[in-house]
Amino acid sequence: MNFNLSKSIEILERTPTVLETLLNGLSNEWIQNNEGEETWSPFDVLGHLIHGEKTDWIARTEIILSDKADKTFPPFDRFAQFEESKGKTISDLLNEFTDLRNTNLIALKSKNITSEDLTKTGIHPTFGAVTLENLLACWVAHDLGHIAQISRVMAKQYKEEVGPWREFLPILDR
């Protein structure tokens, strides 16, 4: 499948509803348990997605499309959510993510991105030049990757409870 902006927006605009249907109203153990030491719970992942909406995708799109001489992205803080999500409920986070994503998609669409724009570049602090197409494809794959992660973390809560089925459910040992 080749990159396509409107097919990318199909995914980006449904992620808030997917997370809402997957997580809202669940018992705390499904939301707060993780995969073991130094891994993230669904609650942590959602905070990470919120931080991305605030500081990453649109901010970096704007750097790439700007006339600035230095197009280096500020580094992204992968651990910001541990501070920022404190004291919030899963519903708070779902609402916050939904609002931020909606605002960001309005901003994205307002830029009327052309195929020439997609070839423009910015500088990633770790691995150098990336195109706008790379960035937007990454936004989509990042959403889907974290939906997969949340589902996997939840599945693993029943790793022992499935008994001998464990060997038929590779997700439980990934």
Residues that bind a second copy (CB under 8 A): 1-3, 7, 10-11, 14, 17-18, 20-22, 25-27, 29-30, 33, 124, 127-128, 130-131, 133-134, 137-138, 140-142, 144-145, 147-149, 151-152, 154-155, 157-159, 161-165, 167, 169-172, 174
Minimum distance, C-beta of residue 94 to a second copy, in the bound complex (Å): 13
Minimum distance, C-beta of residue 164 to a second copy, in the bound complex (Å): 4
> Is the CB of 74 or the CB of 128 nearer to a second copy?
128
Minimum distance, C-beta of residue 30 to a second copy, in the bound complex (Å): 7
Minimum distance, C-beta of residue 104 to a second copy, in the bound complex (Å): 18
Would you say how long the chain is, in residues?
A: 174
Distance CA 148, CA 142 (A): 10
131 forms bridges with which residues in the sheet?
Answer: 121
The 10 Å CB-count burial string (b at 16+, else e) for 63-96 is bbeeeeeebebeebeeebbeebbeebebeebbeb
Query: 99 with 86: CB under 8 angstroms?
Result: no
